[in-house]
Amino acid sequence: MFPKFLFKLNIACKKLKYYPVLYRFKALFSGGFMILRVKIKYFAIFREITNKREEELDVKEGATIKELLETLSERYGKRFKDLVFNGDVVSDRLLMLVDGVNIHSLNGLETKLSENATFVILPPVGGGG
């Protein structure tokens, strides 16, 4: 439970949109791990499923892309999960970027997220003339 002064600080930080201070204080009272804020951008079918262009989500420090995808699948249900996962394995047909870099150029699904990272997920796109 938050002490009263932290509750007031929480409200002040949200009004100022100064999340780093807020999350560091929350970390002190949530088992000692840091909470990171990550921006997620959705395109095409993912935008339809989530009904959002983008959102910000709190994750534990050290969270990976795979853990983020599992969290999003729980949040958005079967349709989202079926697009992202083939059984227990993440589909290799998706394009996923962290801060503009393809995750395959990083550590793949084990890429750790950082504070204020931007994660982009795109379904396969076809076309041509």
Task: Set out the domains of the chain in order of their start, with CATH numbers.
Answer: 1-32 (no CATH), 33-122 (3.10.20.30)
Contact at 8 Å (CB) between 121 and 94?
yes
Residue 80's pLDDT band, with cuts at 50, 70 and 90, is: very high
What confidence score (pLDDT) does residue 127 get? 64
pLDDT at 8 over 90: no
Q: What is the pLDDT of residues 101-125, one digit of tens each?
A: 999 999 999 999 999 999 999 987 7
The CA-atom distances, in angstroms, between 58 and each of 19, 22, 65, 113, 124 are 11, 12, 13, 11, 27
Report d(CA 114, CA 61) in Å as an integer. 7
What confidence score (pLDDT) does residue 34 get? 76
Report d(CA 104, CA 96) in Å as an integer. 8
pTM equals 0.74
Comparing 9 with 79, the larger pLDDT belongs to 79
Q: What is the pLDDT of residues 11-57, one digit of tens each?
A: 666 655 555 555 555 555 556 667 889 999 999 999 999 999 999 99
What confidence score (pLDDT) does residue 13 get? 60
- Extract the tokens encoding 8: 């007031």
Mean pLDDT computed over 77-100: 91
